[in-house]
Amino acid sequence: MTDLAVKHRNPVRWFVLAALVVLLLLLVGPLLVIAVNAVKSPADYAANGPLSIPGSLYWDGIVDFWNRVNFGQKLWNSFVTALVVAVLGVVLSILNAYALGIGRVKGRVWFLVFFLVANLLPQEVLVYPLYYISKEAGLYDSLFAIIIIFTVIQSAFGTYLLTSVYTEFPRELLDAASVDGAGKWRTLWRVVVPVSGPTLAVLFTFFFIWTWNEFFLPLVFLVSNDNQTVPVALGVLQGDRMMDATTTSASALIGILPAILFFLIFQRTLTRGIAAGAIK
């Protein structure tokens, strides 16, 4: 690089940095407001408004909300649902994508179009059919309904994505496996899955977080309080005309913490998975 370019780069760098800081504040700002109001007493909020710094830390909002909705159980429901959906969704995606991407089934383009369309359908369209089917099957107001529905919805996306990854799968590896005498089944689990591990980890993480954050279908299908997931439980605070700002903030805070934690834990898999995809 010439000297001129270096000279030009410095002010640009500062500009980029400033822009990033502004962007960061925009992103973190709402979270900060939530955090600030979560530990503010209602009287403090009433007297000083939402943007003031709380005079003293007030944990009752969080504790009250936790007990009021039996939050521990909601966490467990959400965790089980999201985990099962993530695992089943990935397995289903692998099987589908193996057939479509590597097996090159006849009419696979149409399969892919089908999955893409299924993926684009808004959930509101699906509600009534799903409602009647689950009612007939006795699964209305049951976590099974949610697990089955989201396994299918997530794996539709997973199949679409994974198929395009598997279409590019190195043929040499597959040929080598078949020369060594591995059948289709062995090839899948011993060769294809380990090699595409990083991508699968990304899928798993996304499925987990997406299912965790789902609101609409759980709201419709999980009628009893005992079956509800975290986002539905947060809805309890939504009153007719009244809004309890401090408790709502408290609930929002403990509602997003698990998702943030999960994201932090799996952040490395995510970056690795995306990087792995990039090399291919």
Residues 94-153 that bind other proteins (CB under 8 A): 131, 135, 137-142, 144
Residue nearer to other proteins on the CB measure, 195 or 244? 244
Instruction: Give the nearest distance from C-beta 203 to other proteins in angstroms.
Output: 16
Residue nearer to other proteins on the CB measure, 14 or 128? 128
Among 21, 43, 80, 113, binds other proteins (CB under 8 A): 43
Instruction: Please write down the long-range contacts of 247-251, taking CB distance under 8 Å and 24 or more positions apart.
Output: 247/42, 247/61, 247/64, 247/65, 249/33, 249/34, 249/35, 249/36, 249/37, 249/38, 249/40, 249/61, 250/37, 250/38, 250/39, 250/61, 250/62, 250/64, 250/65, 251/65, 251/69
What does the block give as tokens for 266? 């799996």
Work out whether 263 is an interface residue with other proteins (CB under 8 A): no
Residue nearer to other proteins on the CB measure, 62 or 112? 62
Q: Choose one: 1-9, 195-203, 215-223, 254-262; the region binding other proteins (CB under 8 A).
A: 215-223
How many of the chain's residues bind other proteins (CB under 8 A)?
A: 40
- The DSSP secondary structure of 6-34, one letter per residue, reads HHHHHHHHHHHHHHHHHHHHHHHHHHHHH
Residues 64-93 that bind other proteins (CB under 8 A): 68-69, 87, 91
Instruction: Give the nearest distance from C-beta 131 to other proteins in angstroms.
Output: 5
| Residues 6+ away with beta carbon under 8 Å from 52 | 40, 44
CB 159 within 8 A of CB 203: no
d(CA 64, CA 88): 35
Instruction: Give the nearest distance from C-beta 137 to other proteins in angstroms.
Output: 7
Task: Point out which residues bind other proteins (CB under 8 A).
Answer: 42-43, 45-50, 68-69, 87, 91, 131, 135, 137-142, 144, 185, 189, 219-220, 223-225, 232, 235-245
